[in-house]
Amino acid sequence: SLPKGILFWRAMTHWIGGMGIIVLSVAIMPILGIGGMQLFVAEMPGITPDKLHPRITQTAKRLWLIYVGLTFAETILLMFGGMDLFNALCHSFATMATGGFSTENESVSAFSPYIQYVIIVFMFMAGTNFTLHYLGLHRRFREIWKNEEFRYYTLFTAAFAVVITFMLFLNNGQSFEKSFRDATFQVVSIVTTTGFVTADYLIWPGYIWIFIFLLMFIGGSAGSTGGGIKVARQILLLKNSFLEFKRMVHPQAVIPVRFNGKAVSQEILYLVMAFFLFYILIFFAGTFAMVLLGLDFDTAIGATIATLGNIGPGIGGVGPVENYSELHTGAKWISSFLMLLGRLELFTVLILFAPSFWRK
């Protein structure tokens, strides 16, 4: 019911925001030492920002060209599927920004299977480190697959999509193609924190929503427009956890955590663990605050993780066919703050509350 001008403004706003996030995370945050990209700026040969270009302005231009090019390509493919230019542009903006604002109340379920498959592909690309797209343009595909984060991101997403596909096919009475499309779409949408929906996953067989909930903690790749914890951090966290067992067996051994074949410094590991700890603490604090404001437990959890991860739809009263309009005013303020925290990588915002920061 909103005018097309408002819908287009909304789509354009988060598309421009996505452009800013790419440059912030890939080109600026590594210099400040506060973003997700510093996890592997030194450890990932061939794709560091200064390998694109030593100057931030040139790096930004190249990343933006990739961003605009992918948006244009998706727009054309959506129009091939019968979308008019307005809807194709709005959905391309929403996909590449992993923002998820649709022009339809039914989101992407209002469109054909072809359009849903196109959006799946571009959501996945939007959740990928944008410097990998640069390598792809130069046909350096072997380097892309050697990238540990990309392999984990790809295989993890595929595994969840396959598992949920068979769960739906065996328990929901749908065709295999419909089960595959719905499962893959929702998995990619949630992992990349886009938030588009094609089905109400809360009415799927009871145990599937647990997988959906777990996916909400994953997030996209570092250096992408996706939100969440980020895949690179989780790889390092898992590797460090497994190595602790080895260190217990061999206490005198020096066993470094390796990422893309290179040792990761303790400083970076401490940053990863600190980020994860703060993320979980903020999740619990946000859930507790929501419950105090009168939300039921499911809705409180769903709203907290969905806003902190910048996903959009959650579980409970903020599921895929609901929205946040009925929430308590205080819950909306908390949700807004959580979205800001999650989008700016926690520390960027939290440091503003440190007295020592202002004294400096």
Instruction: Answer for the pair 43, 264: CB distance below 8 angstroms, yes or no.
Output: yes
- Domains in the chain: boundaries: 4-215
CA 332 to chain CA centroid, Å, is: 21
Q: What is the pLDDT of residue 23?
A: 64
pLDDT for residue 50: 41
For residue 307, the model assigns a pLDDT of: 94
In the chain (360 residues long), the average pLDDT of successive 10-residue segments reads: 87 84 58 46 37 59 85 96 94 92 90 96 92 84 86 93 93 90 96 92 85 89 84 88 79 77 81 89 95 92 93 89 88 93 82 73
pTM for the model stands at: 0.87
Reading the block at residue 239, the tokens are 């590797």
Note whether 205 and 172 are within 8 A (CB): yes
pLDDT of residue 45: 30
Residue 239, pLDDT score: 87
Q: Tell whether the torsion through CA atoms of 259, 59, 34 and 15 is positive or negative.
A: negative
